[in-house]
Amino acid sequence: MEDCNPVSTPLDINQKLIKETCQPSKEETDYMKTVPYQEAIGSILYAAQVSRPDLSFAVGALLRFNSNPSKSHWGAVKRLFRYIKGTLDYKLEYSRDNEGCLEGFSDADWASDSDDRKSTTGYLFKYQGGPISWNAKKQPTVALSTTEAEYMALASTSQEALWLQSLLRELINWNQELILQCDNKSAINLSKNNIYHARSKHIDIRHHFVRDLVEEKKLKVTYLKTEAMPADVMTKGLPATKHNNCCRFIGFLKV
């Protein structure tokens, strides 16, 4: 892929990545035996965890097919390398003038997995203007609504927020209020009180601890419109313009 042509996004938004249910032809089986699929994904995974939040969702999606990839999955991996080729001169940027502000963003893509209809959680934390923690992960259970998916994502984000708060207090005696931003008003309302009991009583109790954190004023959950949500890049493939806007906002910029 050294001389490949760059592309502007990690994933093709028109391509649905699903498990192959039919028996592949002998030709395809023989071809895939020669393909270093797991090695390729493993090499990109390191970058996605260390310095490339823009790759997290794409890598996580492609990892699901490690045991039985098809030609279409391998094509998506090669597209990912083409995207990397076009962003080799990008970097994470931090500012010394940001006054130690920690920002958290939580998002979810409801029922995004076409195979089991589970949703994807995405969160991102910025400190000194740049990203310091991010994650894109499929949720453990099927959410029955967008509100439930966003609320489960908010609970996962809150866990990371508590750890980051503890770390910063230990390192620099940090004592600022942490604000988590979410683009779903129903999930925010659910985190503040139990007004949707009839539609939320089935949600696992472990996800409700975010409500205790809000009541104890350990964190504050606020609304951020979807168009401005940078964690969107952690939950789905995006069109080029939206993808670039998210990268710019989180501090992943061209040198």
Report pLDDT for 229.
95
Report pLDDT for 118.
93
**pTM exceeding the 0.85 threshold for the entire prediction:** yes
Phi, psi of 195 (to 5 degrees): -70, -20
Domain ranges of the chain: 26-88, 92-254
Residue type, 38: Q
Alpha-carbon span 211 to 36, nearest angstrom: 45
State both tokens at 58: 């794409």
92-254 maps to CATH 3.30.420.10: yes
Report pLDDT for 174.
83
State both tokens at 229: 């949500």
Report pLDDT for 150.
93
State both tokens at 53: 């939040």
How many whole angstroms from its chain centre is CA 26? Answer: 36
pLDDT per residue of the chain (255 residues) written in tens, 0 to 9: 889 999 999 999 998 888 876 677 888 889 999 999 999 999 999 999 999 999 999 999 999 999 889 999 999 999 999 999 999 999 999 988 877 788 999 999 998 888 889 999 999 999 988 999 999 999 999 998 898 899 999 999 999 999 999 999 998 888 888 899 999 998 998 888 766 555 666 777 777 888 888 888 889 999 999 999 999 999 999 999 999 999 999 999 987
Q: In sequence order, which ranges of 35-70 are alpha helices (DSSP H)?
A: 37-50, 56-63
Report pLDDT for 211.
86
